[in-house]
Amino acid sequence: MDYFAVVINQTGYLRVLVTYHRFISFCLYIVGFVWFVLSLVKKYYMKQFSLFAWTHVALLIVVTQSYLIIKNIFEGLIWFIVPVSMIVINDVMAYMFGFFFGRTPLIKLSPKKTWEGFIGGGISTVIFGLLMSYVMCQYRYFVCPIEYSEALGRMTMDCEPSSLFQPQEYTLPKSLQVISKMFNGRSTLTLYPFILHSLSLSLFSSVIGPFGGFFASGFKRAFKIKDFGDVIPGHGGIMDRFDCQYLMATFVNVYITSFIRIASPQKLLQQVYNLKPEQQVQLFLSLRDSLQNRGMLNAY
């Protein structure tokens, strides 16, 4: 809701959703909770409470992870497309390497998974991640966060790319400088900082990501089911394809929050736009007085 608050605030009768959406959601949940209690039948207590528990587990897994995916998208499409593609490539290449070269079983939960497929898929994912990151870093459409533009009056993906998506020069370690000078005579390397972060993403997607699939396999074996559904012929349901994606989305969100996200004037403006007009004026006057008292306005 925070991402669309500025847009919704432009419409008077929808403003209540921005202000009270959390309270409204809680009230609707309480209505459902009371309805559930009133619908309890003595003979079906166990079944009803089992369904109640399953519903909450499903909401925790599906809704929470979907929310994190949306947050990643709003940080820039590159934070969504690259991780999702890494999981897909890892899955495909692990299958290919396992099919042609697989000899050593990896884990008992999935007898068809092999070490050869696991390693081959991991190396392929790292290479693919580096190449895809390099290409996407060159386009603002992929690297700019989705934000509201006061000038345009709509959501936009046009910005001045942050330093994360601008070429930087790095000095190579001395051990690598010798090798580099043999080919091009340079001791530095120019690349996008995001490419270095993509290494972390690709390592996670290739080493930890498959364990989301192993977890799903163990879960299905425990309940003696082949697939979670039959929406996709030959592949099962949606959850059968997205078991690793949810784990990856959580990691990307935690990674952005821990190592990437920094305070910026544009993000602060998004919060200012959510204020009432008189509050915005009050904030402006307070900020102006503060800057004047510290003599900062004279410097500009």
Segments making up each domain of the chain, as ranges: 40-262, 266-299
The answer, yes or no, to whether residue 258 has pLDDT greater than 80, is: yes
pLDDT for position 227: 60
185-197 as b/e, with b when 16 or more CB fall inside 10 Å? Answer: eeeeeeebbbbeb
pLDDT for position 291: 85
d(Cα 190, Cα 252) in Å, to the nearest integer? 25
Task: Report the alpha-carbon angle 190-120-133, nearest 5.
Answer: 30
Pick the more confident residue, 134 or 265.
Answer: 134
d(Cα 78, Cα 195) in Å, to the nearest integer? 11
pTM value is 0.80
Segment 220-236 shows an average pLDDT of: 60
